[in-house]
Amino acid sequence: MGGTFDPIHHGHLVAASEVQASFGLDEVIFVPTGLPWQKLDRQVSPAEDRYLMTVIATASNPLFEVSRVDIDRDGPTYTIDTLRDLSAAHPDADLYFITGADAMAALLSWRDHDELFELAQFVGCTRPGHELDENSLVGLPVDRITLLEIPALAISSTDCRERVGAGEPVWYLVPDGVVQYIAKHGLYASESSKGPHPS
C-alpha cells in the first residue's frame, strides 16, 4: 500500500486491513513515498517522519510491515519503481497494489502503466467523497483491477494536518502514538499556533 502518509490515519489502516482480509494476503507492506510527484506543490513532511509515523501506526499488527524502498530511492516516487523493487525483494510473491479510488482514477497518467499491470494486481479502495467514476477505468485491463468498498471513514491526511494547524484534536483519527509523535516533533503546527519557544 503506497501513500504519502503525512500523517498515516485510520482510513489507511482500515483500508489495508479490509484488503488483507478479503484477499487473504500474507501481509500488507506500507510504502511511504519519497517525493510524491503529484504533491510537489505543497510542503511534504520529511520522509523520515512519515516513515516513523507509519512504523508506529502499524507496529502492533503482525500482518503489517513498512518498506523504505521509496524513501531510500532518490528523486520523485513512481509506482513502477516501487513495484520493481518490491518484486525483486519478493520474487515468488503475487503482489497486490492497494490504492484509493482517487489514485486509481489517475492510473492512466502513471508512468509505464502497461508494465504496472504485469507486476501487480491493483485494488482500488473506495473512500467517502472520492466516488470512482467507472468511465475513468476505460482502457485499463479489467482482470487486473478490483474495486473494494471500504466502510465509510471520511478521514484524510489533509484534514488531519489542517486540524493540527488550527489547534484542533486528531485523537481517534490517527493512532495514539501518531498523535504523540506529531506533538513531540511539532509537525503541521502553523507558525502562530506553535507558541513561543521555551527559553
> Residue 79 has which C-alpha cell?
509506482
- DSSP assignment letter at 125: E
6 near ligand ATP, judged by CB under 6 A: yes
45 near ligand ATP, judged by CB under 6 A: no
d(CA 34, CA 88): 19
3 near ligand ATP, judged by CB under 6 A: yes
In angstroms, what CA-CA distances link 9 with 115, 126, 130, 158, 173? Answer: 30, 16, 17, 10, 6
Question: Contact letters (x/-) for ligand ATP, 87-116, by CB under 6 A?
Answer: ------------xx-xx-------------
Least CB distance to ligand ATP at residue 8 (A): 7
Least CB distance to ligand ATP at residue 91 (A): 25
Least CB distance to ligand ATP at residue 9 (A): 6
Specify the stretch interacting with ligand ATP by CB under 6 A; choose among 72-80, 81-89, 115-123, 147-155: 147-155
Find the radius of gyration of the CA atoms of the chain. Answer: 17
SS3 content of the chain, % helix, strand, coil (to 5): 45, 15, 40
